[in-house]
Amino acid sequence: MHVRAVRVAAVVRCARGSRQRLAAGALLLGGLSLVSAAAGAQGAAPAMGSPARSLGVHSATDSLEEQAAARVAAAVCGKRVVLLGELPEHGHARGFGVKARIVERLVARCGFRAVLFEAGSFDFFGLERAIAAAPRAPAGAAAGAGRADSLELALARAVGGFWSTRELAGWRRWLLHQAVTGRVAVGGLDDQPSATAAYARATLPGLVGAAVPPARSAECRGAVERYLNWRYTEAVPYDTTERRRLADCTRLASDRALAARTSTARAAERRTPDQVMLGDIASYFARERGDGDGGAAGAPDRDLVMAQHLAWWSARLLPGARIVVWTATTHAARAPGANPVRPLGVPPLGARLAGRWGDQLAVVGFTALRGQQSRAGAPVQPLAPLPPHALEARALAAGAAGDAAGWAYLDRAALRSLGPVPSRLFGSATATDWSTAFDGVVVIRDEAAPTFEPRR
């Protein structure tokens, strides 16, 4: 997702003239949801050979989700870290469905043990603690309805509004089951608190208040609580003074919490969840303070935060554990592409991971030729037309498949063979050599807008 879009659409990016509450968009951040445990359907990677197969075109008579997921999962099964992107508007039901089934296959068939999201870390820690604290059902017995409902709600709040769709509801239940049984760890990579982040609202004010010196405890606790519940008035506005207070309070809390622990050579990767949350809220408010408020210089950008979080999770998990990340193509890209293509204005998450993980990293982008989209319940919009020589059109036209092709998968060699071509992978149509950004790209002929569930 474009960094500016995130700042406006995600969390309280209160427009300068009329600051709106933290919701409007950050509710959008996070968000997974599910397709069903039945997704383990069989399917091997198709044989390559003919010109049509070299671009991975498949007939619409196949189940789009099942067949596309089987193809991608087979291609990335042996990797340590897999980034699954999606168009930066975060509003495409068919892409969501394919991604969800890929995740299921990577867990069931390839041994992946962590699913991490482009979503705030806070409520995932709350979910983790709720699972640990919940009474265990007797062996062989199903969890009680009340417990299951409570944990489902906690997961929905953690993933946020972008991916809280009816189409993915069954997959959320599958993911929750994997987490409850200890088979899969789930977490958030972002430092932005979302509008659905109930655990963050309940926990962060006290966490910050306890970490700062006693003389500032009430002030700092009140400032964080005011922001997370958006309780500003004419007498106490969200202005330069308040942003400075929030940045100073949370940085002080984070620094003091880290200083209280014995330092190690890799202290950043050995933080406790509380220390991670304090660091996240501090980096978030450092960016919120902004250059105009005399701050933000040197504040970590979101993609750097997410890369640091993935390193933290890698250290926390069992050695060799495999990780799949659900994010946007703009963040997943290995490289931002040839100049002047730089959709985020900073090196994307995928580029920052490539140096550490090398060929153990796989990055898969998702795009669509045509169809509809809807961003977290916003009105349904058509996808903008693409030029006839765009990546999407060429992939689906390969082998004269024409309208019979429901989807295509282009590996890096196929992407390279196309050369610099326009695509909507980064949002608006942009021309570049896409093999520099992705190891593979899924192209869907006809996208559909998802049906969003009410915010909870």
Read off the pLDDT of residues 163-181 as tens digits, 9 standing for 90 and up. Answer: 788 888 899 999 999 999 9
Q: In this predicted structure, what is the pLDDT of residue 444?
A: 95
Greater model confidence, 297 or 90: 90
What pLDDT, on a 0 to 100 scale, did the predictor assign at position 57?
Answer: 61
171: left (phi over 0), alpha (psi -120 to 50) or beta: alpha
Share of the chain above pLDDT 90, in %: 63
Side-chain-side CA neighbours of residue 113 (13 Å): 14
Count of other CB atoms within 10 angstroms of residue 274: 15
Closest CA to 237 of 27, 26, 17: 17
Give the per-residue pLDDT at 102: 97
Phi, psi of 73, deg, nearest 5 = -60, -40
- Kindly state the percentage of the chain with pLDDT values over 70: 76
pLDDT confidence of residue 20 = 39
User: How far from the centroid of its chain's Cα atoms is residue 356's Cα?
Assistant: 20
- Determine the residue type at 26: A
Summarised one tens digit per residue, pLDDT across range 98-152 is: 999 999 999 999 999 999 999 999 999 999 999 999 876 554 555 555 566 799 9
In this structure, of 212-216, 267-271, 298-302, 307-311, the range with the lowest mean pLDDT score is 267-271
Q: Do the Cβ atoms of 197 and 157 come closer than 8 Å?
A: yes
> Longest Cα pair distance anywhere in the chain, in angstroms?
73
Question: pLDDT at position 136, please?
Answer: 65
Mean pLDDT of 196-209: 96
Give the gyration radius of the chain's Cα atoms: 22
Instruction: Give 334-372 pLDDT, tens digit per residue.
Output: 986 555 455 678 899 999 999 999 999 999 999 999 999
Q: What is the mean pLDDT of residues 301-317?
A: 96
In this prediction, residues 60-68 reach a mean pLDDT of: 73
Work out the pLDDT band at 23, boundaries 50, 70, 90. Answer: very low
| Phi-psi domain of 89 (left: phi exceeds 0; alpha: psi -120 through 50; beta: other) | alpha
